[in-house]
Homo-oligomer: A and B are copies of this chain.
Amino acid sequence: MGGKKSHIANQIKRIRVARTDLTQAELARRVGATRQTIIAIEAEKYSPSLELAFRLSHVLGEPLEELFQFSGEWG
């Protein structure tokens, strides 16, 4: 995107282990992604596509805005 620095944090790992008993592999399977993708996203190497974000939110039972937090310059 255009040169605006920003970062999106997420609570996926925390919620996955705290509120579910899902393994990374199981979560990956349920959202239709691979384990590597889950690992990368939990480690915040990059942020998921909007579609994957919706799926994670659904499977983990946590609203989008609570699962993910935008931090950086807005405008």
Q: Which residues on A are within 8 Å of B, measured CB to CB?
A: 1-4, 6, 8, 30, 32-34, 47-55, 58-59, 63-65, 68, 70, 74-75
Contact = CB atoms under 8 A, between A and B. Distances in A.
Q: How many copies does the complex hold?
A: 2
A51 B47 CA distance: 8
Looking at chain A's contact residues, the main secondary structure is mixed
B51 A6 contact: yes
B2 A34 contact: yes
Most buried by B among A1, A4, A30: A1
A50 B68 CA distance: 9
B47 A8 contact: no
Contact of A49 (B1, B58, B65): B1
